Structure 1
């Protein structure tokens, strides 16, 4: 049985089991929605296709074979779909709060796929749960109302065991949402509102994408040697001497960015994951983990024509053990190294520019008093023991939810995210794993003899490949409604934490949060509007595919 056929078999078997366990939540044909819903009157209709294509990514040499999304607007405002010509990224989707959206998705790949609208608060059947993955030649109909406030989201493939490689090969794109609160602000718009989708890739001598397949590389997560912005290398933006809004998206599989200017000028954020902030926040640098977004206010006022600024990913340490990078092409740019992201060249002097608002949008700040489990947070325990990335000691299974993963519709929960191998109480979660891990991603793989590797700056610990500690930062993404960060507990972090400490913007609505080694993060998450199964997982996409994913059942 080929690897892809085995994946299809596992996925189909898991879906059948899920249908038996959650019959009221699945569609009648077990994962396929092929017809529009009578009575759902769409304001926007889009035809979406996933297919193979050849795109000239690098300046010289052959075109690169990629997987990409193409879209055609059937109904709605003309700017709803903005194509990016000559680009492997999918088109930018521009929505308004309150719109009803219908997407006809057709899979023209040679493997199963499904789309997740990362950051949008939508029903289970439109969220891109891998149980809805469709086979080659099939189609799926998404239907949802845009409930989100103004902000920046993304969309990408979410077919289990295929997510990381499909996203890496191009299946991703940007989403913007606007609303009346945003429209009352004088924010940069039109040509002054631009995407900044940051990704890393590796290419062979024929310009073809190289991906990781060895197990220790997958455990570390893919790290490329070329930085692409908006699908192109050596990105340069020609700007005027005025303010811009740049919607920065970390579209990499596992790379973490520490965004900052080369001249030390601080960065100002006006929004985090899918929502504007209550007021602008300024940092010396901004950390951006896979799946995270930040809306940047970049003001070039006062800069002379001909001046150039380079945005870097600045150096940091302590996010991973540093295994396996030396001498390997896929890891030529180490995690935490310094490298240029994009250059901004001032090409025109102008006299008009909007001023940075002192306040942005109305904002409700949640507290423990708003939760129905104060002092008894739901756990998300992170562990990578014995080469198995787990959450709460368990691997992903479509037909399983633990008792604490069943939550009542309308509830607001306090959730504690912690490192299961470091924090008190972790052993209990891990010891429950074996009974439910019938889909162990490591089964059948040949392992080398365990050996220790240098930790790469995260405090001097050693890591054994066969069962020792895997000390890594994990970007944790929760599907469904967004959450707020209540607090970070840092009394057990290492000295290296100082290199990232000032880069977290925790005051806004979030759907993805970076949890550093030794760190504990408490969040408050509403579970409103929709019943069903909603995932939570590590957004290091290699970890997600290896099973570092679970789900809540909202009932």
Structure 2
């Protein structure tokens, strides 16, 4: 019976066709190579660039105690300040995650990345997720450096105050490097944010949510078999800031929570288990114009959300729990004749799909405990949630150069291969319909298509789409009637009112967004931030031309 199938059993059932699929995917993820037609990596600092902050970040192997017993072997970012404010680098205690880098808008930053990974096959590069940088500073896969080599980033921080992050971006190897621990937060501040008076210091909490699977010796397990590459990795345990079963001890104060979904493919439906609403103050690209309340918040891989968590009226010795509520419709809809409706006991088709793709891991959409907050201290709070935050200059649809003909970005599955506009990633390829003009505003429409005739996910699956090079604004969402049921379970958790660089697109959904292309010419990528999809080729280049 289907409910008894594991991933390996599924592949045996599908036989030679599945093996052919596996061969194609794995061959498509061969080690990255540098194209002779692309610019070569920048390995030396520019004498003409005088940084306000000069850092070195090394990707290294380490051991970290995560579970009782044997330490876990990880890869991690280690940073040092060569010049500038020593407080610009703040470690996350007892974590494999890289340090938090804190900068201010307008600062000139030099960061020398050194690849010290022990595996000679692990080329790497850092992408500054959400930042508006020149193409050569963005971490395109063609700029990878081999172990023992370095890459020098030099750029001016022009972004709004907000929670950004950094992670590896080598084609075909990103998922494994992130699983092993390579990721960190990049926090930008500016005078406008300072003037608001949000919680700071110990009341400003970074929270990186990830999922991992461990073996009996406490080592990370990452099985990049064909099913994982098709569906995405799901781990058995939830980690927050690299720790399982996190409990935050808190005071009766207001907190600013900066939450990143740093998982490879798992999507979260974040909520308080008590039913208390969430107060949202920022999205990917910084603060909103006004605080918003949501019953829950959807957070896909790569997305960030900031919450105002006010505990002043919570009695001492109270424990609160942040959870991911159950939802369906993100994958497996209509597979093998099923409707895709998930019973929340995980006994339906959706639960069977999760069993097939990730063994003992909770399936996508399963209820999960994320963390606990224990109120242990009584303190006086004087901060008040501001009614207004930071103004946002709104793009106008009619100002787009293609206002009546949106640029179509079609997401599809063809021959067991996820594609964008019918294509997969080629290192130096830009199609004619992937060229945009400098100093223009464009309307893009991301369409999550159905996949008739496909053996897996004929109705599609959820994709978090990330566009490099800057931030965009979401202007409209629609969904196919036959897939509306799953969409209805998540739509009230979208926060589309702010700046975004990553957007969750559910099966059958169309998302229209406005993006301005300014300051820099050159080539960037856009891709699915399900990292297994990205590695398997669900990524394309686009080029900005003058």
- Asked whether the two chains share a fold, i.e. TM above 0.5, the reply is yes
Deviates more, 1:32-41 or 1:542-551: 32-41
- Please state if 1:179 is matched with 2:190: yes
What does the per-residue CA deviation read over 1:47-89, in whole Å, with 9 as the maximum and x for residues that have no partner?
110011111111x110111111100011121220001243210
The CA distance in 2 between the partners of 1:273 and 1:10, in whole Å, is 31
8 Å CA contact 1:8–1:112 kept in 2: the answer is: no
Contact 1:279-1:358 at 8 Å conserved across structures? yes
Distance apart, 1:328 and its partner CA:
7.2
1:395 aligned to 396, 401, 424, which one? 424
- Are positions 1:44 and 2:53 aligned together? yes
Q: Name the residue aligned to 2:526.
A: 536
CA contact (8 A) 2:415 2:454 kept: no
- SS of the aligned residue for 1:361 comes to coil
Name the structure 2 match of 1:427.
Answer: none
Correspondence for 2:484: 494
Question: Does 1:469 pair with 2:458?
Answer: yes
Secondary structure, aligned partner of 1:376: coil
Q: Post-superposition shift, 1:10?
A: 5.7
2:178 counterpart SS class: helix
The equivalent of 1:511 in structure 2 is 501
How much has 1:38 moved relative to structure 2?
2.0
Cross-structure match for 1:166: 177
399, 402, 412: which one aligns with 1:370 = 399
Note if contact 1:241-1:346 (Cα within 8 Å) is conserved in structure 2: yes
- The question of 1:77 aligning with 2:85 is answered yes
TM-score normalised over the length of structure 2 = 0.88
Contact map agreement 1:243 1:301 (CA 8 A) in 2 = yes
* 1:484 aligns to 2:473 (yes or no): yes
Q: Which residue of 2 aligns with 1:231?
A: 242
- For the Cα contact (< 8 Å) 2:412–2:419, is it kept in 1? yes
Unaligned runs of 5+ in 2: 1-23, 333-349
Match of 1:219 in 2: 230
Moved more, 362-371 or 307-316: 362-371
1:254-289 residue CA offsets vs partner (Å, 9 max, x unmatched): 000000001100001100003110111110000000
**Which digits, 9 at most, give the CA deviation of each residue in 1:29-52, with x for residues without a partner?**
x2x111111211100000110011
Q: Are positions 1:98 and 2:111 aligned together?
A: no
Aligned counterpart, 1:435: none
Task: Answer yes or no: is the 8 Å Cα contact 1:94–1:177 preserved in 2.
Answer: yes
| Aligned residues of 1:385 and 1:469 also touching (Cα < 8 A) | no
User: Which whole-Å deviations, capped at 9, do the CAs of 1:301-327 have from their partners, x for residues lacking one?
Assistant: 111110010000011110011465327
Contact 1:236 1:343 in 2 (8 A): yes
1:518-548 superposed Cα distances (whole Å, 9 cap, x missing partner): 1100000111111111110000000000000
Decide whether the 8 Å contact of 1:538 with 1:544 is kept in 2: yes
Counterpart position of 2:335: none
* Match in the other structure for 1:415: 444
Aligned to 1:443: none
Q: Between 287-296 and 379-388, report the one with greater CA deviation.
A: 379-388
Q: CA 1:168–1:177 in 2, change beyond 3 Å: closer, same or farther?
A: same
The separation in 1 between residues aligned to 2:235 and 2:486, in whole angstroms, is 23
Instruction: Name the residue aligned to 2:10.
Output: none
Asked if the contact 1:401/1:553 (under 8 Å) is kept, the reply is yes
CA separation of 1:315 and 1:324: change in aligned 2, threshold 3 A:
closer
Structure 1, unmatched stretches of 5+, are 20-25, 423-460
SS at match of 2:175: helix
